[in-house]
């Protein structure tokens, strides 16, 4: 007999979402996946800027980029520059448990929805401001997007090959990481809320979040005062750890994590003579002679097809992975087994596929709903939250 499923951890939590683009919506997406009721406030006739992003080829008329970040949310259309709509938003705020905004610093206050007002009318509210550089400091009013944060936090300086220009990571990683940190801070702040208060203000910057994520690799700089250089696909502390081309043209990434893995790696490659080689027998020696060893390994991988190396490396339990494009990554049999890709019925786009939440819980499961159309839930939310009629937008 199947055990009954429990409610999601954030069931019953109401989130007022005043965010757009990536960082803020990723934060509220995580809250929605955990069961929170997320009400997204959008400009009438315009909505989140991602609704107007250039569509993918062959997808004209679809809001695919927006849809990737806004499933399981409700959309309410309010013009926060109008006093009447500000008043409605303030009443919604009184009913909320969480408010998340990623306006430029000071904008929420000018709209009558800043922290001081919010805390006064709803002492239980957890209020999160997510911005590029934080609400204070010399950069507080500078605009920032993901590439700017990647540049300023140093990640571009270590991305790319030694003889290349600094490179940006090909995904908005700073946006995603700051959204994750914001969701983490919000969930923890909610644990302190009581019936009589306990709400608090969270000031989270993309710059701080990215540096926090990079901190585990900044020991060299923090302790020794030096900055690492670009190493391409290599690891500064471990050799071999690189990407190599196989005989049939595929690229494979491997890492020999410790001394215990060196012997089985050499045996998998049929090169037992490397095990006690005077220049390769220890990790410090391999790091010292990385260029020579990498050249030997590259030539060896090029001698046989990828399937051969897959079998040998798996037998020896060496960490490896083929370099996939997005299509191959999504078609991976392990991804299919985990059920990560979900299909939703969108009111305009029909069936759409999204990457679902990566966690699996034994007693709960996500109950995803399609991304909303602009203003789709205005009347519903006003009725259920405020017992008020809908809005007649001109």
pLDDT, one tens digit per residue, over 69-89 is: 999 999 999 999 999 999 999
Instruction: Tell me the pLDDT band of 392, cut-offs 50, 70 and 90.
Output: low
- Per-residue pLDDT of 126-143, as tens digits, reads 999 999 999 999 999 999
pLDDT in tens, 281-322: 999 999 999 999 999 999 999 999 999 999 999 999 999 999
Q: Cα separation of 393 and 44, whole Å?
A: 8
Is-catalytic flag, 175?
yes
Give the other-Cβ count within 10 Å of 298's Cβ: 14
Instruction: Give domain 14-215+334-386's CATH superfamily.
Output: Crotonobetainyl-coa:carnitine coa-transferase; domain 1 (3.40.50.10540)
- Contact in structure between 30 and 180 (CB atoms under 8 Å): yes
Q: Are 162 and 230 in contact (CB under 8 A)?
A: yes
The mean pLDDT of 262-267, rounded to a whole number, is 97
The band of 365, judged by pLDDT with boundaries at 50, 70 and 90, is confident
Which residue in the list 64, 175, 208, 332 is annotated as catalytic? Answer: 175
Distance CA 111, CA 192 (A): 28
Under the banding of pLDDT at 50, 70 and 90, the label for residue 1 is very low
Q: Domain residue spans in the chain?
A: 14-215+334-386, 251-322
Q: Can you give the pLDDT at residue 391? A: 65
How far apart, in Å, are the Cα atoms of 105 and each of 66, 140, 245, 353? 24, 7, 48, 35
pTM beyond cutoff 0.85: yes
Rounded to an integer, what distance in angstroms lies between the CA atom of residue 66 and that of residue 163? 37
The more confidently predicted of residues 222 and 172 is 172
Please provide residue 247's backbone torsions phi and psi, each rounded to the nearest 5 degrees: -65, -25
Return the pLDDT at 292: 97
- CB contact at 8 A, 326 and 353: no
**Predicted local distance difference test score (pLDDT) of residue 393:** 53
Q: In CATH, what number does 251-322 get?
A: 3.30.1540.10
Q: Which two tokens stand for residue 341?
A: 């890709």
């Amino acid at each position: 007999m199947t055990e009954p499923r429990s409610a999601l951890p954030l069931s019953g939590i109401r989130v007022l979402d005043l965010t757009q683009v990536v960082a803020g919506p990723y934060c509220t997406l995580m809250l929605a996946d955990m069961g929170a009721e997320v009400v997204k406030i959008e400009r009438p006739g315009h909505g989140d800027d991602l609704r107007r992003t250039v569509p993918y080829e062959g997808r004209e008329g679809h809001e695919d980029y927006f849809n990737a970040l806004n499933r399981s949310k409700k959309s309410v259309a309010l013009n926060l520059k109008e006093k009447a709509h500000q008043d409605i938003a303030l009443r919604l705020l009184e009913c909320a448990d969480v408010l998340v905004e990623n306006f430029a610093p000071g904008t929420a206050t000018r709209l009558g929805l800043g922290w001081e007002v919010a805390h006064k009318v709803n002492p239980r509210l957890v209020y999160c401001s997510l911005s590029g550089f934080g609400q204070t400091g010399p950069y507080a009013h500078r605009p920032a997007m993901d590439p700017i944060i990647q540049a300023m936090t140093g990640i571009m300086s270590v991305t790319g090959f030694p003889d290349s220009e600094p490179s940006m990571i090909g995904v908005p990683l700073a946006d995603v990481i700051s959204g994750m940190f914001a969701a983490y801070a919000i969930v923890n702040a909610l644990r302190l809320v009581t019936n009589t208060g306990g709400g608090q203000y969270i000031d989270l910057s993309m710059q701080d979040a990215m540096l926090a994520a990079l901190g585990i690799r900044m020991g060299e700089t923090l302790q020794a005062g030096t900055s690492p250089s670009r190493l391409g696909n290599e690891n500064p502390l471990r050799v071999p750890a690189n990407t190599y081309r196989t005989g049939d043209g595929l690229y494979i990434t491997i890492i020999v994590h410790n001394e215990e893995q060196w012997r089985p790696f050499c045996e998998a490659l049929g090169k037992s003579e490397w095990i006690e080689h005077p220049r390769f027998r220890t990790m410090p020696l391999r790091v010292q002679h990385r260029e020579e060893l990498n050249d030997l390994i590259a030539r060896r991988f090029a001698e046989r097809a990828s399937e051969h190396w897959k079998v040998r490396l798996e037998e020896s339990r060496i960490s490896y992975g083929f370099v996939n494009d997005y299509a191959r990554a999504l078609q991976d049999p392990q991804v299919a087994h985990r059920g990560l890709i979900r299909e939703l019925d969108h009111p305009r786009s029909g069936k759409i596929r999204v990457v679902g939440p990566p966690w699996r819980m034994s007693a709960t499961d996500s109950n995803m709903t399609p991304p909303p159309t602009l203003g789709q839930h205005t009347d519903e939310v006003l009725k259920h939250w405020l017992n008020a009629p809908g809005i007649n937008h001109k």
